[in-house]
Chain A
Amino acid sequence: MLLIPCPWCGPREDDEFTFGGEADIPRPADPDALTDEQWADYLFMRDNRRGRHREQWCHTAGCRRWFIVERDTVTNEILGASTYGNSS
């Protein structure tokens, strides 16, 4: 079980949350200009890192807001949480 630190509600058990995958994958600004390779990279390719990982979580059964968590994917240690565009 993980204890997820929601920036608004504080630490809560992980079954209140939905995992939203790797963070920092911005939607393409000009989709029409993308090559197939760039689309594939945006849609499917992931770093899938062993170790420090920035990822998105939504507090589905709480404040229902999305935010970013940094977690070690080997030890599951939570290294920090932040709201979008505002690290903590």
Chain B
Amino acid sequence: MQFYSLPNLIRRGLRGHRDWTPAWRKAEPKPSYDVVIVGAGGHGLATAYYLAKLHGVTNVAVLERGWLGGGNIGRNTAIVRSNYLWDASAHIYEFSLKLWEGLSQELNYNVMFSQRGLLNIGHSEQEMRDLARRVGANQLNGIDAELLSTHEVSKLVPILNTSPHTRYPVLGGTLQRRGGVARHDAVAWGYARAADALGVDIVENCEVTGIRTANGRVTSLETTRGEIRAGAVGLVVAGNASVLASMAGIRLPIQSHPLQALVTEPLKPVFDPVVMSSAVHVYIHQTDRGELVLGAGIDAPVSYDLNGNFRIIEHVLAAVCELFPIFSRVRMLRQWAGTVDVCPDASPIISGTPIKGLFMNCGWGTGGFKATPGSGWVFAHTLAHQEPHPLNEPFSLDRFTTGALIDEHGAAAVAH
């Protein structure tokens, strides 16, 4: 791996930047691996990296149907935070946030993690009570969280319409100062480069079409580039989780929906934190380039369609213009959608399955980007030891049978 540093940049610059090599190899699939990860999204690549780095498991392939980073890792709105309500979620998301804080150094790759703060605003008395409860729960779990008055919100984001005569009056908010955004593609590229350097094969244009088992144990995968034998398999395919699970005869409590986002033309910097409103279904932040990134809730029907319903756009823009009248004439540049894998309790599944050697990491729905480092870390542990780490034990598939759900709709449904 070519180390990225200032001296290296200068040295290579003097040679005309002609001797940089690609950040990762285009690997050909081998007939057999100790561990095969399906899906080169953020979570799959992070899993491969930590398997090689922390567990010495380097005979690993990451199989990707399309191109690396073409899934939700390249489509999300990049928000990172850890202010979830329940202990199980607080622990895993906060663990992840701590990894984010050192990730650029860890990977020698600038993931542009920017802790610009994350503001949740509340519009009703009840919502403020719920937010206060969540702040209390966060503080008990050692997560930074503050409850703000309308005045404090207004000082933080002066362009927010906090007049009492609006359609959505702002009664206050919560702030996680350590929250923020990261450069989502860089996260995929950084993990891919670091995993590749440790010997992991990243195989693009390789779709998994079948899962073979013998005596209740996974033996190999059928792919568009031939059969690949595997000691253990980790399915990390986000919106297509049910499709892959059904190849092994497993049913999941997951429904796939389009989730859309939009971006505007660039503006001068006008506000710092990410602003989210669960009640009016909108969130917004300004990128380093000055564009506004806007998002909302999912399209209601189950769908793998990547266009998204126009009504969501109408709804998002109406809400943004109410909250930020200053943006009413800003033009949109692009809109897109990704397929998100939504669980009934808005929490992920990081778990073994009834088939030995077959593991799943899915159900992150609208909010898995922030968990990329932590998810990869615990899933690597799960694959290496064939049993969960204490951090992901509560996120088992059988919680839907035992009833031990982790209901994070308040913290996760609209806010991503």
Interface residues of A (CB under 8 A from B): 1-2, 14-15, 18-19, 21-22, 36-37, 39-41, 43-50, 53, 55, 71, 73-76
The total number of A-B Cβ pairs within 8 Å is 71
Instruction: Verify if B310 is at the interface (C-beta below 8 Å from A).
Output: yes
A75 with B305: in contact, given A46-B252, A46-B255 (CB under 8 Å)? yes
Minimum distance in angstroms from B283 CB to a CB of chain A: 22
**Contact of A36 with B242 in the complex, beta carbons under 8 Å:** no
Interface of A is mostly: mixed
**Chain B interface residue bracket vs A:** 20 to 34
Contacts of A76 in B (CB 8 A): 303, 305, 307
Tell me the complex Cα distance, A40–B250, Å: 13
Contacts of A1 in B (CB 8 A): 309-311
Instruction: Verify if B301 is at the interface (C-beta below 8 Å from A).
Output: yes
Contacts of B255 in A (CB 8 A): 21, 46, 48
**Contact of B253 with A45 in the complex, beta carbons under 8 Å:** yes
A45 with B309: in contact, given A19-B300, A36-B402 (CB under 8 Å)? no
**Contact of B305 with A48 in the complex, beta carbons under 8 Å:** no
Instruction: Verify if B169 is at the interface (C-beta below 8 Å from A).
Output: no
Contacts of B303 in A (CB 8 A): 73-74, 76
Contacts of B256 in A (CB 8 A): 48, 73
Instruction: Verify if B401 is at the interface (C-beta below 8 Å from A).
Output: yes
**Contact of A46 with B401 in the complex, beta carbons under 8 Å:** no
Tell me the complex Cα distance, A55–B400, Å: 22
**Contact of B301 with A74 in the complex, beta carbons under 8 Å:** no
Instruction: Verify if B1 is at the interface (C-beta below 8 Å from A).
Output: no
Tell me the complex Cα distance, A26–B106, Å: 51
Interface residues of B (CB under 8 A from A): 240, 242-243, 246, 251-256, 300-305, 307, 309-311, 344, 400-403
**Contact of A44 with B253 in the complex, beta carbons under 8 Å:** yes
Contacts of B307 in A (CB 8 A): 76
User: Residue B240 contacts which of A19, A50, A75 (CB distance < 8 angstroms)?
Assistant: A50
Tell me the complex Cα distance, A15–B300, Å: 11
Contacts of A40 in B (CB 8 A): 253, 400-401
A47 with B242: in contact, given A1-B310, A21-B255, A40-B400 (CB under 8 Å)? yes
**Contact of A22 with B302 in the complex, beta carbons under 8 Å:** yes
**Contact of B301 with A2 in the complex, beta carbons under 8 Å:** yes
- Extra contacts besides A18-B300, A46-B302 (14): CB < 8 Å: A19-B302, A36-B401, A36-B402, A43-B400, A45-B400, A48-B243, A48-B254, A48-B255, A55-B302, A73-B302, A74-B303, A74-B305, A75-B305, A76-B305
Minimum distance in angstroms from A19 CB to a CB of chain B: 4
Contacts of B401 in A (CB 8 A): 36-37, 39-40
Minimum distance in angstroms from A44 CB to a CB of chain B: 4
Contacts of B242 in A (CB 8 A): 46-49
**Contact of B300 with A73 in the complex, beta carbons under 8 Å:** no
